[in-house]
Amino acid sequence: MRHIITRFIVVLGLLLTHPVAQAVELGEVPPAIELKGKLGGRLDGTPWSSAELRDKVSVIFYVDPDEKDTNNEASDALDREKFPGDKFHSVGIINMAATWLPNFAISSALKDKQKRYPKTTYVRDYKKVIVNGWKIADDSSNVLAFDKNGKLIFRKDGKLTSEEIQTLIKVIRDHL
């Protein structure tokens, strides 16, 4: 019995002293994340870092490939706004671990998207690094916007309504 209690105390101590990842909240800068190598990265294989969410207002679409069309209305609405490239940037991050689709098929579709949206940076997340690091919804379509300092200014897990799309656009305008 004493052995069991000792183990329990050790495990409890580890849990209490180990930092627990929490969901990124509005007004906060999320923990730094880098996608490179086996974890993911840009379509050309170079690393991507959340440190790049600085100096411009940024929007991330973090998407399960099976939910790729969920927020097309929001993406198209942002494209129609023609925000200046020196003040605004969009990033499409694909949750590659959230689907049964083969990686080569997803990568091919991403290259086509890159041609359609050349100003967007496309990134692959092979191991759900962002899901786990920022505690966002898995197997979903997430939209996150960040100000020039990297603070979260908008977040929606799932499909945006027309009103939420307008809110996203207003939040971006207010921070340009």
Here the CATH number for the domain that contains residue 75 is 3.40.30.10
Residue 18 lies in a domain: no
What pLDDT score was predicted for residue 4?
Answer: 54
pLDDT band of residue 11 (cuts 50, 70, 90) is very low
Three-state secondary structure call for residue 160: coil
What pLDDT score was predicted for residue 23?
Answer: 77
Query: Mean pLDDT over residues 106-126, rounded?
Result: 89
Residue 109 lies in a domain: yes
Report whether pLDDT(79) > 90. yes
**Of 130, 139, 38, residue with least CA distance to 91:** 130
What pLDDT score was predicted for residue 2?
Answer: 58
Query: Mean pLDDT over residues 31-37, rounded?
Result: 97
Cα→Cα distances 152→84, 98, 111, 117, Å: 20, 24, 28, 23
pTM above 0.75, yes or no: yes
* Cα 83 to Cα 57: distance, rounded to the nearest angstrom: 10
Q: What's the total number of domains in the chain?
A: 1
Residue 33 lies in a domain: yes
Residue 94 lies in a domain: yes
What pLDDT score was predicted for residue 80?
Answer: 96
What does the block give as tokens for 17?
A: 């002293």
Residue 165 lies in a domain: yes
Q: Domain range holding 27?
A: 23-175
Residue 72 lies in a domain: yes
Q: Dihedral of the CA atoms 146, 53, 148, 82 (nearest 10)? A: -80
What pLDDT score was predicted for residue 7?
Answer: 55
Residue 85 lies in a domain: yes
Q: Dihedral of the CA atoms 133, 138, 140, 146 (nearest 10)? A: -10
Per the CB < 8 A criterion, the answer to whether 114 and 120 are in contact is yes
Residue 57 lies in a domain: yes
